[in-house]
Amino acid sequence: MVGSVGLLAAAIAIGLGALGAGIGNGLIVSKTVEGIARQPEARGALQTVMFIGVALVEAIPIIAAVIAFIVLNK
């Protein structure tokens, strides 16, 4: 059985992971839109790099969920 400290740790891990991913995705997309507005001809290259960045940032909440499950199973 998991204690209240374990539940709190899992909740904090999930919450901070989601918060960090949300902020990161917002920054990535806003800078990409800004770059496309400045140089429309670079749209394809910027979007490719943006999608790679978003995929890497989305790994953060997945890792946080794994950590939360590990904490809950101890």
61 CB neighbour count, 10 Å cutoff: 20
Residue 42 is given by DSSP the state: G
Fold of domain 4-72: F1FO ATP Synthase (1.20.20)
What are the residues whose beta carbons fall under 8 Å from the beta carbon of 41, sequence distance 6 or more?
none
Q: Which has more pLDDT, 6 or 43?
A: 43
Nearest 5°: the CA angle 27, 13, 4 is 155
Q: Provide the residue ranges of all domains of the chain, joining segments of one domain with +.
A: 4-72
Q: For 17-36, what is the mean pLDDT?
A: 96
**Ramachandran sector of residue 19 (left: φ over 0; alpha: ψ -120 to 50; beta: rest):** alpha
Taking only the tens place, the pLDDT of each residue in 27-51 is 999 999 999 999 999 999 999 999 9
Tokens of 36: 């496309």
